[in-house]
Amino acid sequence: MLILLKNLSKRILPLAALFFLAQGCTKFLEPEYRTQVGLEDVFANDANLEIALTGLYTNLIHENSGFSGAITRMSGFSASELRYAFNDGIIEQFINHDVQPNNSQILQYWNAIYKDIYNSNSIIEGCEASTGLTPGFKKQAIGEAKFIRAFSHFYLINLFGDVPLITVTNKDVTGLMPRTPVAEVYQQIVADLKDAYNILAPDYSFVGGKRIRVNKWAAAALLARVYLFMKDYVNAESLASEVIANNALYQLDTNLDNVFKKNNGESILQMERAFNNTGEGDSFLFYFKVLGFADNIMTDDLVGSFESNDERTSKWMAFALFGYIPYKYKSPDTNEENYVFLRLAEQYLIRAEARVQQNKFSEAQTDINTLRTRSGLAEINNMIDKSSSMIAIENEKRHEFFCEWGHRWFDLKRWPSLRSNGKSRADDILGAINPEWESTDQLYPIPEDAIFKNPNLTQNPGY
């Protein structure tokens, strides 16, 4: 964990190691970031803070992070998007909706995401206490850190439900923090993203035009998603419209082969890695490229659900020895792709769903047809009420965001059942696949190691 600057000696260490001190992660940093400075000088000037921010982003997607492809894979197994070609007890727990509190993968999520939150809080506290930073850069750094704190908390509550809301670095406070209700965590997420939206740069000029750092529109895009999940449909539609209207920066790419390439015009936020491959590329492509087979395979149900002329089947899927694999990322051994966190297509889907919930069916249909046309499909004209419209949105989102960032898993859990029985779409769909399914399986268990270390934590129902 990071150590507060006021408690540090004047030892000279690699500055970026500040964000990897207890994790042993300095190996993930590019050599140029290993600048020799005193740790007490991290927030003394803009140049040092820039290096610390690099450490924050690098830690966010190092190979042991929850955000390096692991959430896509495990949520893909849970949502029946993926199956596994071999026998693995840890993975089978996700496939069978029988995740145990001692599952090493959920412990990795928990620990890694809370490290990202801790690092974000350290940046925020250090900047707020500093007198040596230029005001503009200080605001930018705080905005970026607040976005990452919000992003991290968003994934925690959608994986685990109520979780400790951490906004300080004081371990005496955080070490015994009880679980915070989801609604309260969402309030903090909204506050963080509003702050970020108001203070961040409106373009990517501060990072040489690369889409690898958080800007105003990344905050807007994530906030639109958060409002949608909170059922604040007016604000979800408004913010999604703001992002979509910003066509000087963002446009849907008509060539699906380009969508995940570096600095593509559809990308709102990407992440560079210290090595060439992306997290999802590593998960899906390594064996496929090297040996002709892959272990993470798309389920037959998902493959068979695409319309026959959907270009996403030829552009974003590939056949390996054991079945079809996601092929959105194509270059595990080149330097052509970054890891895409946020992209414009989601904003069309957010706006469509928000419009449906406000009975704006024709406008929502236009948004859906924008994506269908881009994928080589005919436009639809059957979105005439909430029921038909939500089926169309569910279908489109399933095929646009398959095996990507847990979208399917999160959506199935938040959408209501079509049976009007008070349950969810997850109960409808996953219950039909797995006779052992229970509604409590929609949340992963709190890791038993976390409960052992913090007796104020309680376990989720059903575990």
Task: List the CATH number of the domain containing 345.
Answer: 1.25.40.390
Domain total of the chain = 2
Q: Tell me, yes or no, whether 171 lies in a domain.
A: yes
Q: Mark whether 189 and 334 lie in a shared domain.
A: no
Tell me which of 430 and 272 has the higher pLDDT: 430
Instruction: Please tell me the distance from the alpha carbon of residue 322 to that of residue 324, in angstroms, as a whole number.
Output: 7
Q: Tell me, yes or no, whether 459 lies in a domain.
A: no
Q: Mark whether 182 and 100 lie in a shared domain.
A: yes
**pLDDT at residue 20 is higher than 60:** no
- Measure the N-to-C terminal CA separation of the chain; round to a whole number of Å: 29
Give residue 37's pLDDT band: very low, low, confident or very high (50, 70, 90). very low
Q: Mark whether 194 and 245 lie in a shared domain.
A: no
Q: Tell me, yes or no, whether 165 lies in a domain.
A: yes
Give residue 285's pLDDT band: very low, low, confident or very high (50, 70, 90). confident
Three-state SS for 271?
strand
Range of the domain at 178: 5-200
**pLDDT at residue 13 is higher than 60:** no
Q: Mark whether 137 and 255 lie in a shared domain.
A: no
Q: What are phi and psi of 282, to 5 degrees?
A: -65, -40
- Please list the residues that pair with 339 across neighbouring strands: 271
Instruction: Please tell me the distance from the alpha carbon of residue 463 to that of residue 161, in angstroms, as a whole number.
Output: 14
Q: Mark whether 143 and 271 lie in a shared domain.
A: no
Question: Which pLDDT belongs to residue 421?
Answer: 86
Q: Tell me, yes or no, whether 446 lies in a domain.
A: no
> Where among 398, 415, 432 does a domain terminate?
415
The pLDDT tens digits of the residues spanning 346-373 come to 999 999 999 999 999 999 999 999 999 9
Q: Tell me, yes or no, whether 251 lies in a domain.
A: yes
Give residue 208's pLDDT band: very low, low, confident or very high (50, 70, 90). very high
Instruction: Please tell me the distance from the alpha carbon of residue 173 to that of residue 182, in angstroms, as a whole number.
Output: 19
**pLDDT at residue 2 is higher than 70:** no
Q: Mark whether 397 and 249 lie in a shared domain.
A: yes
The pLDDT tens digits of the residues spanning 379-414 come to 999 999 999 999 999 999 999 999 999 999 999 999
Q: Mark whether 129 and 251 lie in a shared domain.
A: no
Instruction: Please tell me the distance from the alpha carbon of residue 110 to that of residue 47, in angstroms, as a whole number.
Output: 31
Instruction: Please tell me the distance from the alpha carbon of residue 325 to that of residue 403, in angstroms, as a whole number.
Output: 9
Q: Mark whether 22 and 65 lie in a shared domain.
A: yes
- Here the tokens at position 12 are 């000279």
E strand or H helix that includes residue 28: none
Give residue 275's pLDDT band: very low, low, confident or very high (50, 70, 90). low
Question: Which pLDDT belongs to residue 5?
Answer: 30
Across the chain, mean pLDDT equals 89
Contact 200, 216 (CB under 8 A): yes
Q: Mark whether 196 and 276 lie in a shared domain.
A: no
Instruction: Please tell me the distance from the alpha carbon of residue 82 to that of residue 256, in angstroms, as a whole number.
Output: 22
% of the chain at pLDDT higher than 70: 90
CA angle, corner 169, sides to 340 and 38, nearest 5?
85
Contact 59, 25 (CB under 8 A): yes
Q: Tell me, yes or no, whether 164 lies in a domain.
A: yes
Question: Which pLDDT belongs to residue 31?
Answer: 28
Q: Mark whether 131 and 258 lie in a shared domain.
A: no
Q: Mark whether 384 and 340 lie in a shared domain.
A: yes
The pLDDT tens digits of the residues spanning 101-135 come to 999 999 999 999 999 999 999 999 999 999 999 99
Q: Which residues of 219-258 are buried (b: 16+ CB within 10 A; e: fewer)?
A: bbbbbbbbbbbbebbebbbebbbbbbebeebbebbeebee
Output DSSP code: residue 276: S
Q: Mark whether 217 and 184 lie in a shared domain.
A: no
The pLDDT tens digits of the residues spanning 445-462 come to 999 999 999 999 999 999
Rg from Cα positions in the chain = 22
Q: Which residues of 369-393 are buried (b: 16+ CB within 10 A; e: fewer)?
A: bbbbebbbbeeeeebeeeeebbebb
The pLDDT tens digits of the residues spanning 38-85 come to 445 789 999 999 999 999 998 888 777 878 888 999 999 999 999 999
Q: Tell me, yes or no, whether 51 lies in a domain.
A: yes
Q: Tell me, yes or no, whether 91 lies in a domain.
A: yes
Segment among 214-218, 273-277, 318-322, 452-456 with least mean pLDDT: 273-277
Question: Which pLDDT belongs to residue 38?
Answer: 46
